[in-house]
C-alpha cells in the first residue's frame, strides 16, 4: 500500500524556484533530470515513507535529491505532506 503525496503551497513555490534556477543555470535537460529524480524519490517515499533520515525539525524528514537540493516532508497516517524544497548551498534555517 502506498500513501498519497500532497504538496504544500510552500513546497510548490520552492520546487518551482529550484527548477527555474536549474533551467537558467544548466538548461532544460538538466532541469528535467531534476524533476524526474524528485518523482522517483516521491514514488519511493509513498511506499517506504521512513526511508529517509529525520531532520532536526520535529516530525519532518529530509530527502536528498542531489548534492545541491533536498526536500522536507512529514508523514501522516494516510498521506505524506511535502513541506518545502531547499538549496543545500544556502545557510541552514535550523540546526
Total-model pTM: 0.89
Give the pLDDT confidence of 2-44 residue by residue, as tens digits. 999 999 999 999 999 999 999 999 999 999 999 999 999 999 9
Domains of the chain with bracketed CATH: 4-87 (3.30.2310.20)
Strand blocks (E) in the chain: 4-7, 60-64, 69-75, 79-87
Amino acid at each position: 500500500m502506498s500513501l498519497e503525496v500532497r504538496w504544500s503551497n510552500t513546497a510548490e513555490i520552492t520546487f518551482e524556484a529550484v527548477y527555474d534556477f536549474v533551467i537558467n543555470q544548466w538548461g532544460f535537460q538538466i532541469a528535467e533530470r531534476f524533476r524526474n529524480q524528485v518523482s522517483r524519490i516521491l514514488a519511493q517515499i509513498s511506499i517506504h515513507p521512513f526511508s529517509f533520515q529525520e531532520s532536526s525539525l520535529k516530525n519532518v524528514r529530509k530527502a536528498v535529491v542531489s548534492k545541491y537540493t533536498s526536500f522536507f516532508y512529514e508523514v501522516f497516517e494516510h498521506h505524506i505532506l511535502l513541506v518545502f524544497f531547499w538549496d543545500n548551498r544556502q545557510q541552514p534555517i535550523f540546526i
